[in-house]
Amino acid sequence: MIKKFDVVIVGAGGAGLRAAVEIPKEYSCAVISKVFPTRSHTGTAQGGVCAALSNMEDDSWENHAFDTVKGSDYLGDQDSIEVMCKDAIRAIMELEHMGMPFSRNEDGKIAQRQFGGHTKPADMNDPYGKRVSVKRACYSADRTGHVMLQTLYENTIKNQVTFFSEYFVTELLMEDGVCKGVVAFDIATSELHIFQAKAVLIATGGYGRVFRITSNSHAGTGDGMALVYKAGLPLEDMEFFQFHPTGLWKLGILVSEAARGEGGILKNKDGERFMIRYAPTVMDLAPRDMVSRAIITEIREGRGIRGSDGTDYVLLDLTHLGKEVIDDKLPEITGFARTYLGVEPTTDPIPIQPTAHYAMGGIPTNVNCEVLLNEDGDIVRGLYAAGECACVSVHGGNRLGTNSLLDLVVFGRRGGKAIHEFLKTASFGDLNENAGKETNGTIKKLMDSKGSEKISNIRTELQNSMMEDCGVFRTDEGLRKMISKLKELRERFKNIAVQDKSRVFNTDLVEALELENLLLNAEATVYSAYARHESRGAHTREDFPVRDDQNWMKHTFAFWKEDQDPELKFKPVVVTRFQPMERKY
Amino acid sequence: MDIQVKILRYNPEKDNEPYYQDFNVKGVSEDWRLLDVLHEIKWNYDSSLTFRRSCAHGICGSDGMKVNGRNRLACALLLKYINTKKPIVIEPLPSLPIIKDLVVDMSSFFNKYEVVKPYLITNTPPPPDSERIQSNEDAEKLFESAKCILCACCTTSCPSTWTNENYLGPAAMLKAYRFINDTRDEGADERLDILDTPDGIWRCHTIFNCIEACPKEINITWHLSQLKKRISSREM
Ligand SMILES: Cc1cc2nc3c(=O)[nH]c(=O)nc-3n(C[C@H](O)[C@H](O)[C@H](O)COP(=O)(O)OP(=O)(O)OC[C@H]3O[C@@H](n4cnc5c(N)ncnc54)[C@H](O)[C@@H]3O)c2cc1C
Ligand code: SF4
Ligand code: SF4
Ligand code: FES
């Protein structure tokens, strides 16, 4: 069935919903989401969304921009970072005006707290001297993402946006470098629909599910990135995947950095506050890549704690904060520790380990969310991307906490605005009569297959080996191993069987399609990591331990090639006002 | 350990009506979530078993279901809190049409949510470059109701919903509370009018099933009673 909309937005998380709110009513707009909108991953975000509001102490957008550039290990494009940090204050006010419930300070303004990597100069007259942590993260207890997602969804209801919930997008309709729509199937009925559109915005979130230990939802399989990749368009900087230092041991469920922002401390088995040795000034509030490496190093050097199942962890100690702070400011995450590990955070430290958390890389776009065709910056007509699936790149090699929720609302809105502008002159093109045939074929093949491979086995093996060989620390040997593992898994995937043959709500089929996407995203990640012979941000090569600005101040662009290794190309980093410096905290 | 699980199955393509199927699940441990058990079954016993889930830690609201007679989130319930000596009985949320197995049609639930105008209503424009002022005390009054994850555990456990499918139900009215008591909102009257109708708040007989069911431990009836008071005082 063919449906026609001026705009199709794929994804109903923070980025997709914010974009939807921006499309004026005179244009028809459909939002497609594989889960009901309020089930989107944005709702799990806990800690905050940042802007230099100066509600608690003096701050400036320039401080914020400097931190973001430094946090990115100088891989972030500074023009995009300036756009985001300048617009941040307006974006937060807008959320407040939309009705988002924030925690407040004594003056009734939005309250702010500290977060990793957010600093300001200790002495205002010495802007590049010693820096101290600053209260920049706006929050709503530890449910910031939840109330933000609810607020945005509420605003789409007010604006009467059309939703296609529990529809799974399988294919981009690309013809001659122009995007003409998407193909989706209705999960409830298995019926295929062609959504013809003048403009498509992809806002499908991240792919943390490619790793065994992750904070990401089951839906976090990076479908949008994989669709774009398979359509022959590049994926940028996929080697940069953030591991958050504090996931609940074994489960990966996130304990927000807000816990350390409020004063929580990391300790090893000797009870030592080990971050003193790794980041003497900001300690536990150093950026995530550094803290995750520190934790793994402690464990490797025998200072972790061995758990009942033979895996290791370190401790996050909140006991000194007192019951009141814990109950008021961190109710949700301390609840997780109680429910899932049986630990009482007011009296006992919480066992934690690094957890795969955030994709810095993704679909390359310019600051107007237009998707790039190549490393020269040419754009794909009619195709936009925003949110975690996109790479603008504001996060570079390592994202600072609270910068993602900000990214969603700043670039979600910019994407919506750019599309509005585009629609003034755009028209529907002709659709190729073969549109949808490919998805039809893929699904038929999966459903008819009598193969012997199990979806869950391939997925588990992928997640285990990605954790092992493409995780916090990487080596040439490990990545080679991972490359051959991927080849093996891709072969085996051809022999996969969808055992549920029903056409009604077939989640077995959904999992098969998601697995293919995970394999595609893993491919782009591993090959990009293999090629980057340096350590920068979250990408740590033990065989190339230092950052190499001479050769690697550039973004990786990976292109999919059928039955071949992907092709890698490179695009220089945009540097405006901040020259690369050594990254010390 | 091994456990017995009894699941209500239904596939409209081949079943005339729902039936129970028993699974003997091997090698589980007491720190597993019930969701892990469902995954174990789906991934290693029967891939056609169908349920919704996403976040796996009680925040997205996808996996409300009835477990041993009580509405729960499968991902927020650990085996150690269930009696595993007896078979664990898992059924879809009651009173909503079953689509397949544990997946129910939530449209009536979300329609009711939309009825209460779940968005900020204001006539006074906000200050152009800054936030509206609200005391932290006033903000925190909204937090408990704003915590709701729209899982429908409460509404589908409410006896008044079972007897009258048009009853708005606790989740929708809790959402109304969240806006009516927001100092920034000016739509209280419109919403109170909606609640003060035959299918509105007066159908709540304070039976407390909803509180029992709420995985976020929201004191729903307290919020509803505040709304009742507000309506009564308005009429005075
Ligand atoms: C536990 C946790 C805590 C976090 N805390 C913070 C924080 O405090 N501050 C911060 O700034 N960031 C935080 N982050 C990061 C941030 O929450 C995410 O990066 C962000 O929410 C991603 O939003 P999004 O809109 O890009 O995508 P998502 O919210 O992931 O939404 C993706 C959407 O795409 C849809 N979709 C995906 N694939 C398909 C498909 N094939 N067909 C149809 N629809 C599809 C989904 O249904 C969904 O609606 C946190 C992340 C995690 C995991
Ligand atoms: S207290 Fe009211 S809303 Fe809750 S279950 Fe009882 S009748 Fe239903
Ligand atoms: S009030 Fe509780 S039970 Fe009801 S929908 Fe909200 S979270 Fe679920
Ligand atoms: S899976 Fe999200 S609430 Fe259970």
Average pLDDT, chain A: 95
Average pLDDT over residues A168-174: 96
Task: Scan residues 85-104 of A and list those with Cβ closer than 8 Å to B.
Answer: 90, 92-93, 96-99, 101-104
Beta strands in A111-166 (DSSP E): 112-121, 131-138, 162-165
Give the pLDDT confidence score for residue B102 in this predicted structure.
98
Pick the residue whose CA is nearest to atom 7 on ligand 2.
Answer: B204
Please check the confidence at residue A585 and state whether its pLDDT lies above 80: no
Collapsing DSSP to helix, strand or coil, A380 comes out as strand
Greater model confidence, A86 or B208: A86
| Mean pLDDT, residues A252-267 taken together | 91
Between the CA of A40 and the centroid of ligand 3 the distance, in Å, is 17
pLDDT > 80? residue A159: yes
- Is A131 marked active-site? no
Ligand 1 atom with the smallest distance to the CA of A139 is: 8
- Cβ <8 Å between A157 and B149: no
A-interface mutation test, from B123, B131, B174, B177, most A Cβ less than 10 A away: B131
- pLDDT mean over A183-201: 97
Pick from A270, A327, A257, A330: nearest CA to A301? A270
Residues 75-104 of B with CB under 8 A from A: 76, 78, 99-100, 103
Measured between alpha carbons, how far is A243 from A67 in angstroms, rounded to an integer?
19
What is the rounded CA–CA span in Å between residue A341 and residue B165?
39
* Ligand 4 shell residues, CB under 6 Å: B 53-56, 58-63, 73, 75
Q: What are phi and psi of A391, to 5 degrees?
A: -135, 105
Give me the pLDDT at residue A538, please: 96
Mutate to test the pocket of ligand 1, among A38, A403, A404 (most ligand atoms within 8 A of CB): A404
Question: What pLDDT was estimated at residue A261?
Answer: 85
Atom of ligand 4 nearest to the CA of B74: 4
A146–B57 CB contact, under 8 Å: no
Per CB-CB distance under 8 Å, the chain A contacts of B33 are 340
Ligand 2 pocket: which of B70, B158, B219 to mutate (most atoms <8 Å of CB)?
Answer: B158
Of the candidates A36, A91, A147, A115, the residue with the CA atom closest to the CA atom of residue A386:
A91
State what percent of residues in chain A have pLDDT above 70.
100
Q: With an 8 Å Cβ cutoff, is B149 touching chain A?
A: yes
Residues 192..221 of B with a Cβ closer than 8 Å to A: which? none
| Contact: B47, A455; criterion CB under 8 Å | yes
Structure ipTM:
0.97
For the whole model, what pTM was predicted?
0.96
Selected residues 5-34 of chain A with any CB under 8 Å from a CB in chain B: none
How far is residue A451 from each of residues A45, A445, A455, measured CA to CA in Å?
39, 10, 11
Q: Is the pLDDT of residue A58 over 90?
A: yes
For residue A448, give every residue at least 6 positions away whose Cβ sits within 8 Å of its Cβ, in sequence order, or none.
Answer: none
For residues B234 and A391, the model is more confident at A391
* pLDDT at B174 (0 to 100): 98
What tokens were used for A150? 């609810």
Band the pLDDT of A332: cuts 50, 70, 90: confident
Residue A453 CA to ligand 3 centre (angstroms): 39
Q: Do B55 and A158 touch (CB under 8 A)?
A: no
- Choice from B51, B52, B62, B150 to test ligand 4 binding pocket (greatest atom count within 8 A of CB): B62
| Residues A344, A159 contacting (CB under 8 angstroms) | no
B61 interfaces chain A, CB cutoff of 8 Å: yes
Structure tokens that stand for B184 in this block:
């920034």
User: Is A99–B139 a contact, with Cβ atoms under 8 angstroms apart?
Assistant: no
| Residue minimizing CA distance to atom 8 of ligand 3 | B151
Q: How far is A130 from chain B (nearest CA, A)?
A: 31
Distances (CA, A) of A207 to A231, A391, A491, A549, B132: 18, 13, 21, 28, 37
State which residues of chain B have pLDDT below 70.
Answer: 236
Query: B147 — contact with chain A (CB < 8 Å)?
Result: yes
How many Å is the Cα radius of gyration of chain A? 23
Residue among A151, A48, A137, A158 nearest A96 (CA): A151
Q: Which chain A positions have a beta carbon within 8 Å of B56's beta carbon?
A: 217-218, 253
Q: Nearest residue of A to residue B14 by CA position?
A: A502
User: What is the amino acid identity at position A327?
Assistant: D
Instruction: Residue B134: list chain A partners with CB under 8 A.
Output: 104, 108
Best probe of the B interface among A505, A506, A510, A515, by most B CBs < 10 A, is A505
Say what percent of chain A tops pLDDT 90. Answer: 87
- Residue A258: per-residue pLDDT: 83
Q: Is A255 helix (H, G, I), strand (E, B) or coil?
A: coil
B181–A contact, CB cutoff 8 A: no
Return left, alpha or beta for A365; rule: phi > 0 is left, psi -120 to 50 is alpha, else beta.
beta
Residue A83: per-residue pLDDT? 97
A121 has a pLDDT exceeding 90: yes
Q: Residues lining ligand 2, judged by CB closer than 6 Å? A: B 158, 160, 170, 204-210, 220-221
pLDDT surpassing 90 at residue A308: no
Instruction: Dig out the tokens for B160 from the structure.
Output: 């008044």
Cβ of A502 within 8 Å of Cβ of B100? The answer is yes
**Average pLDDT of A447-470?**
94
Q: Residue A584: what pLDDT?
A: 76
